[in-house]
Structures are given as structure tokens and as C-alpha cells.
Amino acid sequence: MATFKLTDPHGGKLVDRTGHKPDASAPKSAITLTEWQQCDFEMIGCGAMSPLEGFMGEADYHGVCDNMTLKSGCVWPIPITLAVDDATAAKVGVGDRVALNDDQGRLLGYLTIKEKYRQDKRKQASKAFGTEDAAHPGVKNVMNSGDTCLAGPIDVVTLRHNPMFTAHRLTPKQTRVEFERRGWKTIVAFQTRNPIHRAHEYLTKCAQEIVDGLLIHPLMGATKDGDIAPEVRMKCYETLIGKYYHPEHTMLAVMPAAMRYAGPKECVLHAILRQNYGCSHFIVGRDHAGVGSYYGTYAAQETMDSLPPGSLKIAPLKFENTSWSKLAGGMVSEKTFPMIEGDRVSLSGTKVREMLLGGQRPPAEFTRPEIADILIEAMKQP
């Protein structure tokens, strides 16, 4: 009988920083993490950011910016740092053990400081986001962060910085156990931070045809102002999956990562994270993790293709832009059906929002009516 084998974690070993390690020394001081840093803390602590065991040191920081690799040689696209202001940095030194709190003063865990170094914000913005424009939400976050990075391993006391969706808030270890319980050896992950419309439903079901199971894995960490509230999104996912997906081949879990809107670089990060969760395949569609017009339509796919062979153990499934064709009577892409003027049911985000605010359902070819009704009701709330 063949041994059950899921995709190896990035770097070969699944990190686990939970189970606080006793230490006789009292923490030097306490640091309050930003919302973004709280998300990174949870992602590192549960192993989703394997092989990271803590916040990046200077060599890893510049290696990621310059070459998209950690000093170990592992591909890594975006710096994961703990940047603090000068006043906080002045209170601690290398070798100190500091407490890490959330914005409510709750203890999340500890950091043992191995390095202190200056953050090169302009370089990081240019390399990670491809722009230094402060209007970019990711760039804005970096530019508003502290100037000094504290690096070192973390130890977790409280893993979940946010208690929402605990039933679906599975760690990589837990998703791997569940995949094995279901008998899934090949799993495709779908990244989203929005409700799933008909085009997304189509490509996830296309992907399901070639794997054992689909993990719908919405990002539920920090997002930008104006994004749909997580409670509303979760209701949309549960409703859609319950009615329109096969329960034996579909699974819903949330990912507590922060959204960086880094386009191609974030696509690589999202693939690495899903590899750590045990997935073998990852859907990459149009303008993955993009915002505004900063990135090309298929730049994320091109970046995934440019990675050195074997650098990731997860395979991208690349999809063209899809929409409903009136003439074909179904979902099509530029590869499967010719573009004919007036044929496609395609709406801008602005138009969809206007319709929902007016209590009007978008066409059923664009979104399921049940999802439209949830969004219409949510927009009535003050």
C-alpha cells in the first residue's frame, strides 16, 4: 500500500512556533504590533510562512528585495519584517526578549532579538510593489511603518490574533490532517478576498476536474479600506459552497494573512503559503493580488513562469479572463470563444456596486442571485 504523501512544505519542513517555550528571563519590554504585523505573527507562528521562524534578519531582507531569495537559497518574494519606531527601537537591544501584544493589549507571544537594522523603505517599495507611489496601499503601509527592523525567532502564546471564523481557521498542520482524512492527495487552492462571482466559480470548477479537492481559501487578514467586510464575505462563501459545489470535493478554510496588493510578487507568496498548507496546485487568474492599474493583466502568471525550475513544489494553474457569452450560452475565455462585440456579460466593479446599492441584482450570468441578495442586504447597513 502506497504511503500517503502531500506536497512538501517550502524549505522541506513545516515550522511550528506554538507551545510557548519557558524562559527564566522576564521580557525586556512589550511591543504593540500593528494589524499587518499581527497577521504576519500568526502566519509565521502556525507554519504558513515556513521556512520562516520569525521576523527576517538583514541578510534575508536584502536578499528578498534584490534576488527574491532568502540567504538559504529558498525563493521568497516579499520581506516579512517587524518595523518599529525609533523610540521603541531605543529601548531594546540584541539578545533581549520582548513581549509582543495585539492592539487590545493581549499577549500574543515573544520575540528574541537577534538583529536590529534600518529598513530601506524606498528600496522595499520598489522591489516588492514595483512602485514607490504612496497611493498604493502596500507602499503606504511600508512608508508609514517604523525605520528600524527587529529580527529573530518568535514563540507563540496566543496564536489567533483575531477570533473570527474559528471553525474554518485551520493551521497548515490541520489542513494537511483534513486532506489526509478526506483521501485527497492533489488539492488546488483558490485565493480570494472578494465574494466569488460566476467567472471565479467557473475556473475553480475547471480546476476541480484535475485534482482530488478544491480548497477555497479566502484571505481574512488586514485589507484596505473599502474592501467588503469579512463577515459578509464569509456568508457569501458558505452560501455559494453549500448550494453550488460538491461537498466531497470542496473545502472552505480561511487564511489570516495581511493583503499587500503586491501583484506578481504577492502571487508567489500566496503560492508558497498554499504549498505550506498542503496544496499541490494554485489558481492564478487575471491581475492576481493587484490593485488599480499598477500591474499587467497577466504579470502574475509571467512571474510564476520565471521562477527557477523546482523552486516551488506547488504548480500554478493559469486561467484567462472569463465571462458569460450570450452566443455560447456559458462561461468562456479568450482561448475558448472569439470576442464578439456585445456578446459578453461583463460589468465593472463600479457598475456592480451601483446596482447593489440600488437594491438591484446584477445579471445571474455575472453573479448568483443568492450572493447578490447577501451583498444588497449588507449595503443597507449603516
Nearest of 196, 271, 273 to residue 235 by alpha carbon: 196
CB 345 within 8 A of CB 216: no
Residue 31 · residue 107 · CB < 8 Å? no
What is the identity of the amino acid at 271? Answer: A
- CA 86 to centroid of chain Cα atoms: 29
Omega prior to 363 cis, within 30 of 0: no
How far apart CA 374 and CA 371 sit, in angstroms, is 5
Q: What is the CA radius of gyration of the chain?
A: 21
Asked if 64 contacts 113 with a C-beta cutoff of 8 angstroms, the reply is no
The residues, any chain, with a CB within 8 Å of residue 309's CB and separated by 6 or more, are none
Catalytically annotated residues: 193-194
User: CA–CA separation, 78 vs 93, rounded Å?
Assistant: 25
Buried b (16+ CB within 10 A) or exposed e, 259-291: bbbbbbbbbbbbbbbbbbbbbbbbbbbbbbbbb
Mapping DSSP to helix (H, G, I), strand (E, B) and coil, where does residue 337 land?
coil
